């Protein structure tokens, strides 16, 4: 009897255990199924109706999502069966991938010529043949006379294929006669076409005003009189978290080098934060520096914060205001040997449209052990004193150009200028490059050395105190020009 009772209890226990296992499996499956249904419902419209033909018809919510307008619904292009029993397929084009043209600036190049600087769709200019037609409308134009003048626009793409969604385009408009040079006023109208690149079955044309001139606003003598500045700096777009101290010493150094008949044009693409602005303001008040806010260009996907766009706009904007325009970056310092002065040097280069400047790369981490404990109070050009000693290495160059002979420009040289270029200056002008230091918000010294030569990170370096030796003069010049306002500037 006892054995039978124990056997019955075991059977009952096994049955209960089995039932519990099935129950757990059932509950887990139910939870997973409910979760799956809830997940699917998140992606379905609010209403789904089932028609008798077993096709689903989706009806959209009553109101569109916030900040989204309700566009008109485009009709679907349908395929058709031809009389030859061929299925003729149809393709429906919707929207626009890129703007036809984005203008940044338009400037006179003479009594009968203009330059319009902007961005355009790169695929359009690479694979199609878009055209620009220039039209001058005098202020007295009424639409029913023959006083307007037209000319074909010549396009220049100066970014050497570096464009992304957009490429830089400089449109040169040269008319057969002088237009508006008498000061009567008028406007330059540009007609831009897709050239079959957008839709070969539908040529698109946009007509817009590129430039307006009020009566009496044009002084044609500016095209032949000597420029206001000997040297003008066109800066690439500044972005990121820049070091106010690096900006401070760069401006003071080059203001001293270029002299009072010079001007600096700085372009802010997001890098001129409050502390950097405090460094720029004294020089702006002295009339030595102009700051332009170009953050709007960040909307359009071009190369390197639209560097080529900004530089070409600067070239044409100040074309008749400077004898020489210099193009280099804020972590680069132009240097002339002690026996060389800038004015006679530039005069000796006057027979050339542009000249390139040799680079001397410097370490951005190596400093001298004798400066231990003092580096936080020293300028970058004082403490970073080790130069890359590799020889016969091709390095990027920067350049200066006479803008009146240039149609467009680039980052390292202009490929669109009239006249010869000089590449061998005999060591009379070079530039020291402190790569990466401009965006370094700390003391750059990471290795303190007691050597004149060293092999570090697979690169040979030699001690070079060239700029260190002139830092004191630059400090005194800054103090003389703007006083001690920037003495507490931090890295």
- Contacts of residue 129, defined as CB under 8 A and 6 or more positions apart, other chains included, come to 195, 196, 197
Indicate the pLDDT class of residue 224, thresholds 50, 70 and 90.
Answer: very high
How much is the pLDDT for 448?
A: 96
The listed range with the strongest mean pLDDT (9-13, 37-41, 176-180) is 176-180
Dihedral through CA 7, CA 12, CA 16, CA 19, nearest 10?
A: 100
How much is the pLDDT for 249?
A: 98
The predicted-structure confidence for 416-465, as pLDDT tens digits, reads as follows: 999 999 999 989 999 999 999 999 999 999 999 999 999 999 999 999 99
What percent of the chain clears pLDDT 70, i.e. is strictly above it? 86
The predicted-structure confidence for 233-259, as pLDDT tens digits, reads as follows: 999 999 999 999 999 999 999 999 999
* pLDDT of 215 over the 90 cut: yes
CA proximity to 209, closest of 186, 232, 175, 238: 186
Identify the residue with better confidence: 199 or 102.
Answer: 102
In degrees rounded to 5, what are phi and psi of residue 483? 75, -165
Identify the residue with better confidence: 169 or 392.
Answer: 169
CA proximity to 269, closest of 309, 233, 328: 309
Least confident of 124-128, 195-199, 362-366, 487-491: 195-199
* pLDDT of 35 over the 60 cut: yes
Opening angle at CA 352, ends 346 and 356, nearest 5: 75
How much is the pLDDT for 400?
A: 98
Residue written as token pair 């410097």:
362
How much is the pLDDT for 57?
A: 40
- Mean confidence (pLDDT) of the chain: 88
Opening angle at CA 349, ends 347 and 350, nearest 5: 65
CA proximity to 489, closest of 242, 217, 125, 162: 242
Dihedral through CA 55, CA 56, CA 62, CA 63, nearest 10?
A: -110
CA proximity to 312, closest of 158, 164, 161: 158
How much is the pLDDT for 381?
A: 97
**Which tokens go with 40?**
């699917």
Least confident of 57-61, 178-182, 223-227: 57-61
The predicted-structure confidence for 155-170, as pLDDT tens digits, reads as follows: 999 998 899 999 999 9
The predicted-structure confidence for 243-302, as pLDDT tens digits, reads as follows: 999 999 999 999 999 999 999 999 999 999 999 999 999 999 999 999 999 999 999 999
Average pLDDT over residues 220-234: 96
CA proximity to 282, closest of 484, 18, 473, 21: 484
How much is the pLDDT for 257?
A: 97
Query: Dmax over Cα atoms in the chain, in whole Å?
Result: 129
Q: Which helix (H) or strand (E) holds 11?
A: helix 2-42
How much is the pLDDT for 95?
A: 79
Global pTM value: 0.83
* pLDDT of 19 over the 90 cut: no
């Amino acid at each position: 009897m006892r054995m039978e009772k124990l056997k019955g209890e075991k059977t009952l226990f096994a049955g209960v255990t089995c039932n519990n296992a099935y129950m757990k499996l059932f509950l887990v499956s139910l939870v997973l199924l409910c979760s799956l249904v809830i997940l699917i419902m998140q992606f379905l419209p609010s209403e789904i109706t089932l028609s008798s033909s077993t096709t689903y018809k989706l009806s959209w919510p009553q109101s569109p999502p916030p900040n989204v307008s309700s566009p008109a619904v485009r009709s679907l292009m349908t395929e058709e069966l031809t009389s030859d029993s061929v299925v003729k397929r149809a393709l429906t084009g919707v929207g626009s991938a890129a703007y036809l043209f984005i203008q940044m600036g338009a400037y006179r190049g003479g009594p009968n010529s203009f330059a319009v600087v902007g961005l355009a769709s790169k695929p359009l200019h690479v694979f199609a043949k878009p055209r620009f037609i220039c039209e001058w409308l005098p202020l007295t134009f009424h639409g029913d006379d023959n006083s307007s003048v037209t000319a074909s626009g010549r396009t220049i793409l100066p970014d050497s294929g570096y464009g992304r969604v957009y490429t830089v385009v400089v449109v040169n408009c040269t008319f057969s006669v002088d237009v508006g040079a008498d000061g009567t006023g008028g406007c330059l109208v540009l007609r831009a076409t897709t050239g079959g690149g957008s839709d070969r079955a539908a040529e698109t044309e946009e007509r817009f005003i590129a430039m307006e001139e009020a009566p009496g606003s044009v002084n044609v003598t500016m095209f032949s009189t000597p420029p206001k500045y000997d040297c003008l700096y066109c800066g690439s777009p500044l972005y990121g978290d820049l070091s106010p101290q690096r900006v401070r010493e760069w401006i003071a150094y080059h203001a001293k080098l270029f002299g009072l008949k010079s001007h600096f044009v700085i372009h802010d693409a997001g890098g001129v934060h409050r502390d950097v602005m405090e460094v720029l303001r004294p020089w702006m008040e002295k009339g030595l520096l102009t700051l332009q806010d170009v953050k709007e260009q960040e909307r359009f996907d071009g190369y390197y914060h639209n560097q080529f766009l900004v530089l070409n706009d600067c070239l044409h904007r100040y074309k008749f205001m400077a004898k020489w325009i210099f193009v280099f970056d804020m972590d680069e310092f132009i240097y002339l040997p002690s026996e060389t002065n800038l004015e006679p040097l530039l005069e000796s280069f006057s027979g050339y449209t542009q000249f390139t400047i040799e680079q001397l790369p410097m370490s951005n981490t190596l400093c001298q052990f004798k400066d231990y404990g003092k580096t936080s109070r020293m300028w970058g050009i004082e403490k970073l004193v080790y130069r890359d000693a590799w020889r016969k290495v091709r390095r990027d160059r920067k350049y200066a150009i006479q803008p009146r002979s240039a149609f467009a420009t680039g980052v390292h040289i202009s490929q669109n200028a009239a006249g010869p270029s000089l590449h061998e200056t005999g060591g009379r002008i070079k530039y020291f490059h402190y790569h990466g230091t401009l965006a370094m918000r700390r003391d750059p010294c990471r290795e303190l050395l007691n050597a004149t030569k060293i092999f570090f990170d697979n690169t040979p370096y030699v001690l070079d105190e060239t700029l260190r030796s002139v830092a004191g003069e630059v400090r005194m010049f800054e103090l003389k020009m703007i006083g001690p306002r920037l003495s507490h500037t931090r890295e």
